């Protein structure tokens, strides 16, 4: 088991996680999928704690994609209920540990109760600065990019921005993630090796880490292992090894 003492000081500033495998975890034990999600919520707590201990400043979690709306109503309802329950339960711990909650995605598509609770916790924790935990909810990267292009086009039409001045900074400022730095490390659990419409722009130079561990089984030591692996990589950002040294 990897201990945090084995890590060096090169801690990723921004970690993003595709928390996959809740359904399979439940099925393996003959339980309803919703129970898998409930245990997945415990995994969220574990990941936030581990990141706080290490000094990770941004953690972004794919909690519900635009495509997840197509799941059976019963499962969608259970996930929405779990979100409200978790937000209510965790607010005091977020305050105590100086954690800022943030959300990205089409939040207007969420049920009123979820949106209200979410916005309340975001507002209440907005001055916390130990770590920013961002929930991607009703989030899809293509939807985000379409919205970004629409918003910039309107500004061009109204002569607020000139087309040749559109650059990476302008695009970053129009994304849901406008207040977040680029992702350094993207983790996906459960053995699947794909991105599933998550942060396509923001992971341009992220290191990718895939593990077979199902999300409800993902413990602190699994996160330490992912970071140890990250620390063994050479991030060249298009340069040569020689240039870096
Ligand atoms: C993917 O597993 C997981 C989800 C679609 C939901 C993620 C939600 C949580 C971890 C819990 C709630 C979160 C918070 C922030 C309290 P899957 O259902 O696709 O698993 P499968 O691929 O094995 O079916």
The SS3 of residue 143 is helix
Ligand 1 centre to CA of 172 (Å) is 27
Residues near 14 by beta carbon (within 8 Å), at least 6 away in sequence: 56, 57, 58, 59, 60, 180, 181, 182, 183, 184, 185
Nearest CA to ligand 1 atom 1: 20
Tokens 């459960």 locate to 190
Residue 49's Cβ-count burial label (10 Å; 0-12, 13-18, 19+) is middle
The pLDDT score that the predictor gives to residue 17 is: 98
pTM: 0.96
Ordered DSSP codes for 184-221: SEEEE-TT----TTSSTTTTTT-EEEE--S-GGG--HH
Mutational pocket test of ligand 1: of 16, 17, 18, 20, the residue with most ligand atoms within 8 Å of the beta carbon: 20
Ligand 1 centre to CA of 207 (Å) is 22
Is the CB of 138 inside a 6 Å radius of any atom of ligand 1? Answer: no
Residues of the chain with pLDDT > 90, as a percent, come to 95
The pLDDT score that the predictor gives to residue 239 is: 86
Ligand 1 centre to CA of 173 (Å) is 29
184 catalytic per annotation = no
Q: Which of 8, 10, 68, 70 is catalytic?
A: 68
CA 133/CA 105 separation, integer angstroms: 14
Of 24, 50, 45, 51, the residue nearest 35 (C-alpha) = 24
20 catalytic per annotation = yes
pLDDT tens-digit readout, 125-160: 999 999 999 999 999 999 999 999 999 999 999 999
pLDDT band at 163 (very low <50, low <70, confident <90, very high): very high
pLDDT tens-digit readout, 179-209: 999 999 999 999 999 999 999 999 999 999 9
What would the mean pLDDT of 63-69 be, rounded to a whole number?
A: 96
Cα-based torsion angle of the residue sequence 215, 117, 59, 189 in order, rounded to the nearest 10 degrees? 10
């Amino acid at each position: 088991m990897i201990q945090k003492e084995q890590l060096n000081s090169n801690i990723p500033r921004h970690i993003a996680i595709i928390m996959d495998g809740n359904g399979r975890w439940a099925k393996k034990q003959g339980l309803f999928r919703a129970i898998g999600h409930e245990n997945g919520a415990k995994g969220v707590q574990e990941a936030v704690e581990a990141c706080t201990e290490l000094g990770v400043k941004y953690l972004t979690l794919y909690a519900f994609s635009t495509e997840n709306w197509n799941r059976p109503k019963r499962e969608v309802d259970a996930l929405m209920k779990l979100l409200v329950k978790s937000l209510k339960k965790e607010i005091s711990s977020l305050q105590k540990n100086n954690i800022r909650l943030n959300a990205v995605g089409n939040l207007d598509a969420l049920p009123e109760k979820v949106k209200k609770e979410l916005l309340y916790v975001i507002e209440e924790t907005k001055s916390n600065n130990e770590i920013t935990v961002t929930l991607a909810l009703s989030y899809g990267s293509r939807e985000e990019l379409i919205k970004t292009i629409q918003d910039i086009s309107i500004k061009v039409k109204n002569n607020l921005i000139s087309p040749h001045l559109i650059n990476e900074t302008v695009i970053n400022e129009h994304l849901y993630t406008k207040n977040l730095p680029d992702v350094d490390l993207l983790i996906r659990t459960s053995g699947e090796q794909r991105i599933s419409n998550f942060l396509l722009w923001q992971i341009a130079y992220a290191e990718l880490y895939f593990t077979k561990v199902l999300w409800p089984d993902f413990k602190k030591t699994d996160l330490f292992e992912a970071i140890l692996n990250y620390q063994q990589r050479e991030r060249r950002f298009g340069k040569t090894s020689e240039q870096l040294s």
